[in-house]
Chain A
Amino acid sequence: MDHNHEEKIEDSEIKSWKSKLIWSWIFTVPIAFIMLLERIFDLSIVEMPYQSILILILAFPVVFIFGWPTIKAGIRGLVTFYFNMDSLISLGTVIAYLTGLIAFTGVIQDYSGVAAMIMAFFTTGKFVEAQARGRSSQEIRKLLELGAKTARIVKGNKEYDIPITEVQVGDILLIKPGEKIPTDGVVIKGESSVDESMVTGESLPVEKAKGMNVIGATINQDGILYVKTTKVGKDTFLAHIIELVEEAQGTKIPIQKLADKITSIFVPVILILSALTFIGWAIVTGDISRSLGVGIAVLVIACPCALGLATPTALMVSSGMGAKRGILIRKGEAIQTMKEVKIVVFDKTGTITKGKPEVTDINTIKGIKEKELLNISASLEKLSEHPIARAIVNKAALKSYRKVTGFKVLRGRGVEGKIGKSIVIIGNQTLMKERKIKLEKINKSIEDFEEDGKTTMIVTMNKKVLGVIAVADSVKEDSKEAIRKLNSYGYRTVMITGDNERTAKAIANQVGIKEVIANVLPENKAKKVEELQISGMVAFIGDGINDAPALKQSNVGIAMGTGTDIAIESGDIVLVNGSLIGVVQAINLSKATFKKIKQNLFWAFAYNVIAIPLAVAGVLHPVVAEIAMALSSITVVSNANLLKKKKID
Chain B
Amino acid sequence: MKKLKLTIEGMHCASCASNIEKSLKKISGVNDARVSVMTKKGFVEAEDVVSDKDIEKAVSRAGYKLIKIE
Contact = CB atoms under 8 A, between A and B. Distances in A.
A130 B12 CA distance: 8
Interface string A68-105: 00000100110010111110000000000000000000
Interface in B16-54: 16-19, 22-23, 34-43
Given A73-B63, A251-B34, A137 B39 contact: yes
B12 A6 contact: no
B43 to A, nearest CB: 5
Given A5-B7, A82-B61, A250 B40 contact: no
A316 B38 contact: yes
Given A6-B7, A82-B23, A250-B42, A267 B36 contact: no
Nearest to B37: A312
Interface in A228-274: 246-247, 249-252, 260, 263-264, 266-267
Interface stretch (A57-65, A303-311, A386-394): A303-311
A136 B41 CA distance: 16
A50 to B, nearest CB: 37
Nearest to B8: A9
A533 B19 CA distance: 38
B31 to A, nearest CB: 14
B70 to A, nearest CB: 9
A188 B20 CA distance: 49
Contacts of A84: 13, 15-16, 19, 63
A502 interface: no
B9 interface: yes
A353 to B, nearest CB: 36
Contacts of A267: 15
Contacts of A264: 15, 18, 22
Contact of B15 (A10, A80, A83, A249): A83
Most chain A beta-carbon neighbours within 10 Å: one of B10, B12, B15, B17: B15
B13 A305 contact: yes
Q: Is the interface on chain B under 10, 10 to 19, 20 to 34, or 35 or more residues?
A: 20 to 34
A129 B59 CA distance: 24
Interface in A520-563: none
B15 A308 contact: yes
Contacts of B40: 6, 9-10
A313 B15 contact: no
Contacts of A85: 12-13, 15-16
Nearest to A12: B9
A447 interface: no
A126 interface: yes
A249 B63 contact: no
Contacts of A86: 13
A588 B67 CA distance: 37
A139 to B, nearest CB: 12
Nearest to B16: A84
A529 B42 CA distance: 34
A207 interface: no
A263 B12 contact: no
A264 B34 CA distance: 14
Contacts of B38: 133, 136-137, 249, 312-313, 315-316
Contacts of B7: 5-6, 9
B14 to A, nearest CB: 2
A266 B68 CA distance: 30
A140 interface: yes
A313 B39 CA distance: 10
Given A82-B23, A249-B38, A308 B17 contact: yes
Most chain B beta-carbon neighbours within 10 Å: one of A252, A264, A315: A264
Contacts of A83: 15, 19
B62 interface: yes
B35 to A, nearest CB: 6
Contacts of B43: 247, 250
Contact of A82 (B10, B14, B22, B67): B22
A129 to B, nearest CB: 8
Given A82-B23, A309-B37, A312-B36, A9 B9 contact: yes
A267 B15 CA distance: 9
Interface string A429-445: 00000000000000000
A264 B7 CA distance: 21
A372 interface: no
Interface in A1-26: 5-6, 9-10, 13
A85 B10 CA distance: 13
A5 B15 CA distance: 24
A312 B63 contact: no
B19 A305 contact: no
A140 B63 contact: no
B14 A304 contact: yes
Contacts of B23: 82
Contacts of A133: 38
Contacts of B15: 83-85, 263-264, 266-267, 304-305, 308
Most chain A beta-carbon neighbours within 10 Å: one of B12, B35, B36: B12
A82 B35 CA distance: 15
Given A5-B67, A83-B15, A264-B22, A249 B36 contact: yes
A557 B11 CA distance: 33
A80 B61 contact: yes
Nearest to A130: B12
A126 B12 contact: yes
A146 B65 CA distance: 27
B34 A260 contact: no
13 contacts: A5-B67, A6-B7, A73-B10, A80-B61, A82-B23, A85-B12, A246-B36, A246-B41, A251-B34, A252-B34, A305-B14, A308-B14, A312-B14
Given A6-B40, A9-B67, 6 more contacts: A76-B63, A82-B23, A85-B12, A249-B39, A250-B35, A316-B38
Interface of B: 5, 7, 9-10, 12-19, 22-23, 34-43, 61-63, 67-68
